[in-house]
Amino acid sequence: MLISKMAAEGGGKEMNEIKTQFTTREGVYKLLTHSEYSRPNRVPFNSQGSNPVKVSFVNVNDQSGNGDRICFNVGRELYFYIYKGVRKAADLSKPIDKRIYKGTQPTCHDFNHLTATAESVSLLVGFSAGQVQLIDPIKKETSKLFNEERLIDKSRVTCVKWVPGSESLFLVSHASGNMYLYNVEHTCGTTAPHYQLLKQGENYSVHTCKSKSTRNPLLKWTVGEGALNEFAFSPDGKFLACVSQDGFLRVFNFDAVELHGTMKSYFGGLLCVCWSPDGKYIVAGGEDDLVTVWSFLDCRVIARGHGHKSWVSVVAFDHYTTSVEESDPIEFSGSDEDFQDQMIHFGRDRANSTQSRLSKRNSTDSRPVSVTYRFGSVGQDTQLCLWDLTEDILFPHLPLSRTRTHTNVMYATSPPAGATIITNTSSNTTNGNSSGANTPGINSLSTALPRSNSLPHSASTTATANNTNKAGGGIGSGIMDSAIATGVSKFATLSLHDRKERQHEKDHKRNHSMGHISSKSSDKLNLLTKTKTDPAKTLGTLLCPRMEDVPLLEPLICKKIAHERLTVLIFLEDCLVTACQEGFICTWARPGKVGLLSSQNQASSPSGTVV
């Protein structure tokens, strides 16, 4: 009792103490106190009722070699500074630009990296009342205001991003559940827009703006129920992942305006989403306190991570720690037919259009690769977690398999009807060459697992997916796979294993309070969620497998690093950046990078807490 009281008062070195360094296999990450950015007076911001602090970076490639710029919002204020990172201490007395807004607050922002120069940058800022502003904080200009009269959408802007590769197109999501595509060159019009249906699918629709002359918005997306909390473009810019308050991750082919796949949270809304550097995996976090890893190619959950004690507010991959290693050349064994099957898998992988920066690091097609993905998460529990996604999770049937997961023995007791189709397809895997999963080249990472080792699939879904794969389609067939898989799994061609488990759902629901969306969600959302996407109906399906049906990751580190809820996590080359709701943006030097800070600053720097 005394200890907890002391901890609450900040006395002593208890569990409640905020960490200033932590250790991973790479070494020690250290908080650089002199590199902290905040409001110039460094006074903690009273965060009650305000929008989350967000941070955006851009590099303007100026001649001095110090081209990084940082933008962050705190309450009604927006700041733009030179970011010195691990090199020099922050000088908060000289913001390049500072803006204070009345009647509305900035909620999110994004730089256009294509057009940024030392003389000019294009920064989009979304606001709590629904407007979007285009500003140039170097020239100190405000060039345009979109949705100024709030005729397009009156709800809070939740996320704004430039469309990858475009100098003029940007996408904006709102708490209304709508997303709008804008062109900076076009006006918004003086009357409310009229729309015409372009495409409709399961729980989403896309409309075009109907007018005589081209005007904004170009497109209106209505996605799911409740707020659309965040979206993220794939590394190649072709796909868009959206997470909503209804608990669904929806992944769209952005140009074709088609749904590629979906996933449901364990419960509650999903709040954040990010892509792996090669576009093969998506991680989402939210009100179930979990991080969920979803395979883009297989359209299914492959792992969950549990470390946070409250809602997960940001997930991000660390591009600089994700490692790629070449393995020995693959050996084929089995019949000629098996060999042909493997080559078809291989061809499909190579034709896959979800290319990545990682693929350039492995140009030899004769060798399979081993990849460890590093990602991080921060939450309302004030904790930072780092996670590794390793081969034994990606391919649980390999010798590295973790026995605590049930994926390897899924059909041991009750093979589903038609299981012969499944085992025929993957019988080759027991020889140790692991069939499609270890096909050469970086793109092999997400090849479908042998179905006998994967989560419960309906036999018909598996057969259809395998047939489509053998037809050799690329992303196109992937979309068809996911559409069929989602449809079939949702409308109950369940395997015997699933049907058995369904009998226990009432107990499971009672034990895990699955029927309840978080009390912070509105009554309207509760009603909609129960009628349209009852969690008990998705639990145990491909959309939302049970906890025991997928590997459970444990964090590499899980450290309390702030007093207030965390709202930012960004991985940079020399450091990682976090921010909390009090308005403090912290720089953590990567191992070996702390010496870059000038010596006089370093001398007065505190040694930090040893973790």
| Average pLDDT of span 136-160 | 94
- For residues 550 and 301, what is the distance between their CA atoms, to the nearest angstrom? 7
Top mean pLDDT of 196-205, 387-396, 525-534 is at: 196-205
At residue 179, what are phi and psi to the nearest 5 degrees? -125, 145
Identify the residue with better confidence: 55 or 335.
55
Query: Is pLDDT above 70 for 37?
Result: yes
Q: Do residues 9 and 567 make contact, with C-beta atoms less than 8 angstroms apart?
A: no
pLDDT for the residue 549: 93
Burial class (CB in 10 A: 0-12, 13-18, 19+), 413: exposed
According to DSSP, the β-strands at 194-201 and 204-210 are antiparallel
Proportion of the chain above pLDDT 90, given as a percent: 56
Under the banding of pLDDT at 50, 70 and 90, the label for residue 292 is very high
Among the listed residues 491, 279, 384, the one whose alpha carbon sits nearest the alpha carbon of residue 24: 384
pTM of the predicted model, to two decimals? 0.71
Identify the residue with better confidence: 356 or 56.
56
Instruction: Please name the residue that has the structure tokens 């905020």.
Output: 18
Task: State pLDDT tens for residues 529-549.
Answer: 334 556 668 888 889 999 999
Under the banding of pLDDT at 50, 70 and 90, the label for residue 358 is low
At residue 404, what are phi and psi to the nearest 5 degrees? -70, -15
What DSSP letter does each residue of 113-162 carry, written as one string? TTT--SS---EEEEETTS-EEEEETTTTEEEEEESTTSSS--SPEEEEEE
- 471 Rama sector, left if φ>0, alpha if ψ -120 to 50, beta otherwise: alpha
Instruction: Please name the residue that has the structure tokens 């990858």.
Output: 164
Query: Is pLDDT above 80 for 465?
Result: no
| Average pLDDT of span 224-248 | 97
Instruction: Please name the residue that has the structure tokens 């297989």.
Output: 298
Q: Do residues 505 and 539 make contact, with C-beta atoms less than 8 angstroms apart?
A: yes
pLDDT for the residue 313: 98
Q: Do residues 30 and 594 make contact, with C-beta atoms less than 8 angstroms apart?
A: yes
Identify the residue with better confidence: 138 or 11.
138
Query: Is pLDDT above 80 for 513?
Result: no
Among the listed residues 245, 144, 249, 257, the one whose alpha carbon sits nearest the alpha carbon of residue 200: 257
Query: Is pLDDT above 90 for 482?
Result: no
Write the CA distances from 584 to 174, 540, 564, integer angstroms.
Answer: 26, 41, 10
Sheet containing strand 204-210, strands side by side:
157-162, 169-174, 178-183, 219-223, 204-210, 194-201
